[in-house]
Structure 1
Amino acid sequence: MPILEVENLSISFNQYTAGLKRKNIQVISSLHVTLEAGEILAVVGASGSGKSLLAHAILGILPDNALVSGTIKYNGELLTPSTQASLRGKEIALIPQSTNYLDPLMRVGNQVRTSVQTGDATLAQRAVFKRLHLQQTVEKMYPFQLSGGMARRALLSTAIVSDAKVIIADEPTPGLDPVVMKEALNNFREFADNGCAVMLITHDIESALMIADKIAVFYAGTTVELAPVEDFTGNGEALRHPYSKALWRALPQNDFTPIPGSQPHPSDLPTGCLFAPRCTMATSACSEEQPDMRNIRNGMVRCMHAT
């Protein structure tokens, strides 16, 4: 049984426009993703595709004007606001994208120690700082005294010492030098090998390929493909969705071929398949309704033309 299951998740926001008219904007629709204990699932896609919103929905930290439907289960049990609050930071830990999540009024060492659930908190904090190449003097500093890379390592430290069963890492590597980035990625792999489940949200597909077991590709607020990491190779011929193939070929180390057009804004989504306006395989049927996710070649894809 997956440790984390997200089924048919949809998220919209109530916003007020000119003249105080209320408008509902759909930002995530029919999103599916599962996470197994002992595996790393990398979530990739363009900015605005819903990756961070998924993390916030799992943890129950969306803003008050968010409307959420669908189900999120942890160990087979439906997550409710109260269970999310009880699990947050304990069994489900977030490494947030923004370093502003650090408390500006608390010394960094103390912040990391608050995440330690068993054993000596000071020893655990100092051990993880050494592991991530943070000097012991850093524990006495406040967040404003840290560089961007140091702040990210401090956030990473809170997850490492938490003994969480699920770690959601939202863009954890920007600003890290290559040595520390490799250490951080190795930590995630070690978590998974010890039975933890890791969701790595990233733009850096190359880094994800180093440690991930599966990759979920997001586009315009939904999952378009879930594939084993081994499928991201060659010219992308093993991939199933046209967007996944185009995204892979657009990388500098591959063809470096740009994808025509741009991802649609949530307020102006096309009918039917969300990628159809940019897809060379699109037919008139693609604009009628959004395809369901289906199993193909040991993966899942949301495309009626995939084989």
Structure 2
Amino acid sequence: MDVDVAAGELVALVGASGAGKSLLAHAVLGLLPGNAREGGVVRWRGTPVDAAARRRLAGTEIALLPQSLTHLDPTATVGAQVRRSARLAGVAEPRAAARRALGERGLDPDVLDRHPHELSGGMGRRVLAAMALLGSPALVVADEPTPGLAADGVRAELDRLRAVADEGRGVLLITHELTGALLVADRVVVARAGRTLERAPVTAFSGTGEELAHPYSRALWRALPANGFHLPADGGAGLEDRPC
């Protein structure tokens, strides 16, 4: 996997389930299990950083918007968890910040007193997003941030991530939803089976995909409903995983 994100840029990492997208997110933050074998290099501001250093950056310089609602502590109220995140991010007045962050996502103040099991999936997703974007992290890694949200909520969350990038911070949007990614991304990285196949500007995803270099990228683009569900004759079995 080969992905880079610049300040002020939103990069979408796109691929099917099992492509290794979430694994990359956990590697970036040094959150892989102890028995994991790592290879390659992770650089922060151009300097190689080991797993311990990445864990120190997590929550302050690098924020993770996780995919799974299991990242919420089932034994603590939402308010306690959001305030804890605010303190870790160095936010002044954590209590007020928690109320403001949830309010910006359409959640009533009484949500602060609830436990995670009392939330719907969409509400839990919005709580995780509020926690991740507290403070001013230089890089936000958003791992599938929109499942469980209504259509208007999906667009609102994508627009918030775009606004984060427009403030001069970096955003890595991990998703299998290419259509939504193209609305807000500057560049798209296409991954399959743990490999980066292509890095392309958003403008390359147009027409029949003739500007895309890799056949898998073109197949993803052409298979979208708006493009007529045009699938390869062999169902994609003949697409190579070799990077361009």
| TM-score (structure 2 length as normaliser) | 0.94
Equivalent residues of 1:133, 1:180 under 8 A apart? no
Shift of 1:257: 2.0
The one-letter amino acid paired with 1:224 is L
Q: CA deviation at 1:82?
A: 2.1
Which residue matches 1:111? Answer: 81
Q: Give the corresponding residue for 1:278.
A: 238
Output the CA distance in 2 between the equivalents of 1:78 and 1:62: 17
2:211 corresponds to 1:241: no
Residue of structure 2 aligned with 1:205, choices 145, 154, 178:
178
- 1:151 corresponds to 2:124: yes
Letter in 2 for 1:278: G
For structure 1, which segment, 110-119 or 129-138, has the greater mean C-alpha deviation from structure 2 after superposition?
110-119
Displacement of 1:79 in angstroms is 1.4
May I ask how many residue pairs the two structures share in their alignment?
Answer: 240
Residues 193-222 of structure 1: per-residue CA shift (max 9 Å, x gap) = 111100000111111111100000001110
Specify every segment of 5 or more residues in structure 1 that has no aligned partner in the other structure, as ranges.
1-30, 263-276, 283-289, 292-301
Does structure 2 conserve the Cα–Cα contact (< 8 Å) formed by 1:89 and 1:162? Answer: no
| Higher share in helix | 2
- Residue of structure 1 in register with 2:19 after alignment: 49
Contact 1:43/1:216, CA 8 A, preserved across alignment: yes
1:205-263 C-alpha deviation (Å, 9 max, x unpaired):
1111111000000011100000011111111111110100011101111130234346x
User: Which amino acid in structure 1 is aligned with residue 47 of structure 2?
Assistant: E
Mark the runs of 5 or more structure 2 residues left unpaired by the alignment.
none
Given the alignment, which residue of 173, 179, 191 partners 2:164?
Answer: 191
Q: CA RMSD in A?
A: 1.4
Within a 5 Å distance, the mapping from 1:105-144 to structure 2 comes to 105-116=75-86, 117-144=90-117
Q: Counting strand residues as a fraction of each chain, which structure ranks higher? A: 1
Q: Which letter does structure 2 place at the counterpart of 1:119?
A: A
- More divergent stretch after superposition (166-175 vs 113-122): 113-122
Moved over 4 A (4+): none
Which structure's relative contact order is higher, taking Cα pairs within 8 Å and 6+ residues apart? 2
**In 1: Cα distance, 2:206 partner to 2:94 partner:** 43
Question: For 1:48-82, what per-residue CA distance to the aligned partner results, in whole angstroms no more than 9, with x for missing partners?
Answer: 01100100110111122211111000011211122
Partner secondary structure for residue 41 of structure 1:
strand
